[in-house]
Amino acid sequence: MTTYQGPAVAFIGCDEIPVTADLAIHVDRGLRSWAGSLEANPSVDWFDDGPATLRLPNGREGEFIATSGAAGSGNVAIQGSGPAPFGDN
């Protein structure tokens, strides 16, 4: 399993949000997916818009959707869509 833990930037609508990411690539029957969690300022509304983009310090980007999280906590679980912005693709 390939993982990434560290800083990133989430683009949600017109907002650019610094986050701390904890991400992993999972392989199930040959299919790869990526998911994890993001931590940001508690004022971020992760569920205000649809899909968002995550950019890592290496410049790679990946789309994701927020799947769960408590309002006002700043923490959210995410599910990636398409290639992961980390690891070997």
29-75 pLDDT, tens digit per residue, is 988 999 999 999 998 888 777 789 999 999 999 999 999 988 888 89
Max CA distance (Å), the chain: 39
Average pLDDT over residues 18-30: 94
Kindly report the length of the chain. Answer: 89
Token couple for 34: 């990526």
Placement of tokens 């610094």 in the chain = 18
Residue ranges of domains in the chain, CATH in brackets: 3-81 (2.40.10)
Q: What is the pLDDT of residue 1?
A: 53
Residue 82 has pLDDT above 80, yes or no: yes
CA–CA dist 34, 49 (Å, integer): 20
Q: What is the pLDDT of residue 13?
A: 85
3-state secondary structure 18-81: EEEEEEEEEEECCEEEEEEEEECCCCCCCCCCCCEEEECCCCCEEEEEEEECCCCCCEEEEEEE
